[in-house]
Amino acid sequence: MKKLILFLLIALSTAQAQMLITPAVAGNGDSDSVVVSFCTFDTTMYPIIADADSIIALRFGPDAVLTDSLTQSSPAMFRPRHGWYEIHYRASDSAGRLGIYHVYVRVKIGGAWRGAATGSYQVIGDDVGDYFAGIANAVSSSGSGAYACTLYVYDSGSSSAVAGAFVRLLNSNQSAVAAMGNSDPNGRLVFSLDDHEYAAYVNQNGYSQAVVPTLVDFNPGGANDTIWLTRFDPGQTPTANLCRVYGYVQSLDGRGIDGVIVTARIQKSPLLLDGVIISPFALTTTTDSSGYWYLDLIPSGALDPDDTKYDVTLHYPSGTILRKQLSIPTEASFWMRW
């Protein structure tokens, strides 16, 4: 008997294996549409892409009432290739209602229906001008709860909004990610959540959490809460001509991973700095208990050739986690996001 797991890809979160719904923000006109994409895996022995026995997709409108129910036989559901599926929806329901819509996909395995994956998107209006203005000011949202809950991220020193903060909300026992997103220019995020307390992990350049994780409460459902961040100084480099490059390595539940080896090297040769050969060049450090690391590197623009990029790798006992090439800016510090 096949054992299937459905992985979803959510648009706000560029590195997670979750449901992909595009666009994440849509209008409610007749021609405004969204595409839901997902893939099913057979995990009996090891994950391989495989077709599900049966699929049903339930979509709920802003009032949490079932809008439509589609199966594999629906002409709105496509299978572009083996194990992959797409559903094409008109963004809003027949009444053109605004708000957050939720899609819940279930698969039939061995004669039983099982929950597989959820995703959300927001319908904001029907006027073309309003639509694009809404996208520019769109509030990120995710989650599969019954209520639209608002979270604000503020600077504890100035009480000003912190834009672009990446927030992960974990359930009460911190065993799964309930929602995630990035704060808008007003420091605001909107999540679809149930009326519970959640553990929040936040990352933003130049800031740190005083308490990790921060507990946020959305009880009763639809309540608001606030996270306060403090300014973070990564410290000074030994000499003024270096850039302190820093970052975090975390697990899917937002916890820091200790002992990850971070290496930055330049493989180009010869490489010059003020006429002096410095190639080959490599520096290594290890993440601490919070997953934090830093390396003091020469900015790319100070090197000859000035388009030189660093090869940065993250290595764990289980193998290489990530490899990336990047230019180091001529700045005192630089937060490296993956």
Dihedral sign from CA coordinates of 96, 101, 102, 107: positive
Bigger pLDDT: 130 vs 165: 165
Cα separation, 252 vs 232, whole angstroms:
23
Hey, is 302 helix, strand or coil? helix
Specify whether domain 243-335 bears CATH 2.60.40.1120.
Answer: yes
* R_g (Cα) of the chain, nearest Å: 23
Cα separation, 308 vs 310, whole angstroms:
7
Burial class (CB in 10 A: 0-12, 13-18, 19+), 303: buried
The domain locations on the chain are 4-136, 147-231, 243-335
* Structure confidence at residue 4 (pLDDT): 41
Other CB atoms within 10 Å distance of the CB of residue 101: 24
Q: How confident is the model at residue 47 (pLDDT cuts 50, 70, 90)?
A: low
Q: Residue 201: in which H helix or E strand, if any?
A: strand 197-203
- Residue 128: pLDDT above 50? no
Identity (one letter) of the amino acid at 256?
A: G
Specify whether domain 147-231 bears CATH 2.30.42.10.
Answer: no
**pLDDT of 241-296, one tens digit each?**
899 999 888 776 567 789 999 999 887 777 878 777 776 678 999 999 888 899 99
Specify whether domain 4-136 bears CATH 3.30.70.360.
Answer: no
Q: CB-based contacts of 39: which residues, under 8 Å, 6+ apart?
A: 6, 7, 49, 83, 84, 85
Other CB atoms within 10 Å distance of the CB of residue 271: 18
- Residue 139: pLDDT above 60? no
Q: What percent of the chain has pLDDT over 90?
A: 12
Contact status, residue 84 vs residue 76, Cβ threshold 8 Å:
no
Peptide bond into 220 cis (omega under 30): yes
Contact status, residue 198 vs residue 178, Cβ threshold 8 Å:
yes
**pLDDT of 83-118, one tens digit each?**
788 888 888 888 888 888 888 888 876 666 666 677
Structure tokens at 28: 């409610």
For the chain, give the number of residues. 338
**pLDDT of 199-241, one tens digit each?**
998 877 778 887 888 999 888 877 889 999 998 888 889 988 8
Name the residue among 218, 159, 219, 220 with its Cα closest to residue 190: 218
Same fold across 4-136 and 243-335: yes
Tell me the pLDDT of the chain averaged across its residues.
78
Bigger pLDDT: 39 vs 314: 314
Q: Residue 335: in which H helix or E strand, if any?
A: strand 333-335
